[in-house]
Amino acid sequence: MLQDESHPQYLPMAGTQPKPGHDFDCRGFDVKISSDPRVSGIFQFRPDLLVPHDFGGDDSLQAVIDRLPEQIALMDENWVITAVNAPWRDANIHYRQFAAVGSNFSEICAGFAKDGYAHAASILAGLRALEDGKRTQFWQPFSGWGLSAGRHFQICVSRYRIGDRVCATAACYDITELLELRRNQQTFSAQILNAQERERQRIGRELHDSTSQHLVVLSLSLMQLKQAPHDSGTERIVAEMSDALGRAQDEIRSMSYMFHPPELKEAGLADALGALLRGFAKRTGLTISYTVGPLTSMCACDAETALYRVAQEALINVHKHAFAKAVRVRLEVKGSGLRLSIRDDGVGFDGGDEAPSLGVGVPGMIARVAELGGALRIRRLTRGTSVTATVPCKQIGHAHGLKIVE
C-alpha cells in the first residue's frame, strides 16, 4: 500500500532552540520547530537539499549518511545505486545486490517481484509512479525474508532534481517494535472495551433484578399509605412521592435497557436497533426513520454489540449537541461488511477544533470498531452530521435476517 507523500515520518532532534512554529534552513534536513516543550525540533533527511560544496566532495557526503541511523541508499535517475550508508550495508550483508554500488534497484525489485514477492511488486509500482511524475515520494511497508524473516520494515523512496540532474533516495526503517507496540495497544484497548461491556451488562442486570425490585416494594408501600386515613397535607406529600417514584422507575428501566438490551441477543441487531430508536424517539421527541436493507450476512456478537453501541453514542450526541429535529438510520450489507449509517439535520460537526467535546464515547467506539477490522467515519454534511460504521461479516447467501455467531 503506497503512502501519500503528505505524511512524512519525522524524528525527534534536540539541540536547536529557534522560536516554536518556525522553519529554518539546514542543509540536508527539512526542519520544523515543534511547539511541544518536550521536543526541540523534528527533521527528515532530505538528500535533495545537499549541495556538493557543502561537504567538500563525495567522501564527506558518505560520512554524513553513514552517521544516520536509517538505512539510506542514493540512486541516479535510472535507479542505479550510487551510494549506501553503513546501516544499509549491514542490513543487506546477505543480499549484496542491494548494497552494491552500481546495482540497479529497480531491476532487483523486478526480480523479486517475478519470484512472487508481493511487496517487491508494490515497491516496483511505486518506482514507476515516480518515473511517470505522478508523485515525488512514496512509502511502502514490507516484511523481511530470509535472515530478516519475522521483522517488518518501511521504505520511503523519493525522486527529485538537483540542477539538471534527476536523483533518488531510499530510506528504510525497521518498524518491528513499533508494530508490536501498536498490537499491544490494540489488545489493551480491546480488553478495556470488553471489560466495559461486561460491566455495563452487570449494572443493567443489577438495576433490573435488584434496584427495580426495591422500587416496586416502595411503590406498594405508597399504595398502602394512600389508602390509610390522612389529612390533605399528607395526601399532597404522598402524591408527590408517588410521582417522583414513577419517574425514578422510568429512568431505571431506561438505564437498565441501555446497559443491557435483551433484544440484542434474543432477536438480533436489526430488531434491537428498532427498539432502541423507538424508545429514543419517544423520550426525546426526535423524528427517527429506520431502514433495514437485506441482511445477507452473518455477524459475530461483538460486531453486533459494537454497532449497537455506536448507534447509542451517535443518538446521544445528536440529542446533546446537534439541535436536530430528524434522524435517518440505515442498516445494510455493503460488500463484505455490515454498515450502519446515522444522519441528522442538526448544526453538524466533524471532529475539528470547533467540535463539541465528545468525551470518551466516540473514541471508544472508534477503537472497538477498528479492533474488529472495521471503520467508523464522522463527517459534516451540508446540514447535519453523518456517522458511518462498518464491520466485516460473512456472506451466508440468504435474506432472512441477521444471525448471531456465538
Residue identified by cell 508523485 is 135
CA 143 to chain CA centroid, Å, is 22
| Residue, of 58 and 342, whose pLDDT is higher | 342
Q: What is the pLDDT of residue 17?
A: 39
Integer Cα distance of 216 and 151 in angstroms: 62
- The contacts of residue 156 (CB under 8 Å, 6+ apart) are 8, 9, 137, 138, 139, 170, 171, 172, 173
Question: How many Cβ atoms sit within 10 Å of the Cβ of residue 197?
Answer: 17
Whether 387 and 310 have beta carbons less than 8 Å apart is answered as yes
Quick one: residue 32, left, alpha or beta (phi over 0 = left, psi -120 to 50 = alpha)? beta
- The contacts of residue 18 (CB under 8 Å, 6+ apart) are 24, 33, 41
Integer Cα distance of 76 and 83 in angstroms: 10
CATH 3.30.565.10 is the classification of domain 262-406: yes
Mean pLDDT for 129-145 is: 88
- Domain residue ranges in the chain: 11-174, 184-260, 262-406
Paired strand residues for 160? 167
260: nearest Cα among 272, 274, 247: 272
DSSP strand pairing (165-174 vs 152-162): antiparallel
Integer Cα distance of 394 and 406 in angstroms: 14
Q: What is the pLDDT of residue 124?
A: 92
Mean pLDDT for 68-76 is: 90
Share of the chain above pLDDT 90, in %: 20
Whether the per-residue pLDDT at 26 is higher than 60: the answer is no
User: pLDDT for 228-258, tens place per residue?
Assistant: 887 777 888 888 888 888 888 777 776 766 6
Residue identified by cell 460473512 is 394
Q: What is the pLDDT of residue 31?
A: 41
DSSP strand pairing (165-174 vs 71-76): antiparallel
Integer Cα distance of 279 and 274 in angstroms: 9
Whether the per-residue pLDDT at 41 is higher than 60: the answer is no
Mean pLDDT for 14-21 is: 38
CATH code for the domain defined by 11-174:
3.30.450.20
Q: What is the pLDDT of residue 340?
A: 94
Share of the chain above pLDDT 70, in %: 74
pTM greater than the 0.95 cutoff: no
User: pLDDT for 181-220, tens place per residue?
Assistant: 888 877 787 777 777 777 877 877 777 677 777 788 788 8
Give the confidence band of 143 by pLDDT, cuts at 50, 70, 90: confident
DSSP 357: P
Integer Cα distance of 402 and 405 in angstroms: 10
DSSP 147: G
340: nearest Cα among 312, 307, 367, 313: 307
Range with the poorest average pLDDT among 23-27, 41-45, 116-120, 135-139: 23-27
